Structure 1
Amino acid sequence: MTEYEKMIASQPYDCMAPELDLLRREAARRYRRFNRADEEDEPLAQLKEMVGELAENAFICPPFYCSYGRHISLGVGSFINLGATLLDNAPIRIGAEVMIGPNVQIYTAAHALDADERIQGVETALPVTIEDRVWIGGGAILLPGVTIGRDAVVGAGAVVTRDVPAGARVVGNPARILAPA
Structure 2
Amino acid sequence: MLINIMENISPTEQEKMLSGALYFANDAELISTRKRASKLTRLYNNTTEEQLEKRQEILLELFAKIGDNVQITPPFYCDYGCYIKLGSNVYMNYNCIILDCNFVEIGDNVLLAPNVQIYTAYHPIEPELRLTGKELAAPIKIGHNVWIGGGTIICPGIEIGDNTTIGAGSVVVNNIPERVVAAGNPCRVIRTL
- Structure 2: distance between partners of 1:158 and 1:174: 7
Aligned pairs for 1:1-181 within 5 A: 1-38=11-48, 39-179=51-191
In 2, the alpha carbon distance for the partners of 1:11 and 1:135 equals 31
Deviation at 1:52, TM superposition (A): 1.1
- How far residue 140 of structure 1 moved from its aligned partner, in angstroms, is 0.3
Larger Rg: 2
Over 3 Å counting, the alpha-carbon distance change for 1:118 and 1:16 in structure 2 is farther
Per-residue CA deviations over 1:88-140 (Å, capped at 9, x if unaligned) read 01110000011111110000011111112212222111110000000000110
Q: Distance in 2 between matches of 1:129 and 1:179?
A: 21
TM-score by length of 2: 0.90
Mark the runs of 5 or more structure 1 residues left unpaired by the alignment: none
> What is the percent sequence identity of the aligned residues?
38
Alpha-carbon spacing, 1:152–1:25, altered in 2? closer, same or farther (3 Å): same
SS at match of 1:33: helix
| Secondary structure at the counterpart of residue 29 of structure 1 | helix
CA–CA distance in structure 2, aligned partners of residues 141 and 171 of structure 1 = 11
Contact 2:173 2:186 in 1 (8 A): yes
Aligned partners of 2:167 and 2:182 also within 8 Å: yes
Equivalenced residue count is: 181
Give the drift of 1:18: 2.6
Once the two structures are TM-superposed, the CA of residue 179 in structure 1 deviates from its matched residue by 4.5
Normalization by structure 1: what TM-score?
0.96
Shift of 1:59: 2.1
Check conservation: 2:23, 2:136, Cα contact below 8 A: yes
Q: 1:170 to 1:19 in 2, by over 3 A?
A: same
C-alpha distance in structure 2 between counterparts of 1:72 and 1:151, whole Å: 20
User: 5+ unaligned residues in a row in structure 2: which ranges?
Assistant: 1-10
**1:20 positional shift:** 1.4
Moved over 3 A (4+): none
Q: Residues 174, 73 of structure 1: CA spacing in aligned structure 2 closer, same or farther, 3 A cutoff?
A: same
- Give distance in 2, aligned partners of 1:96 and 1:116: 42
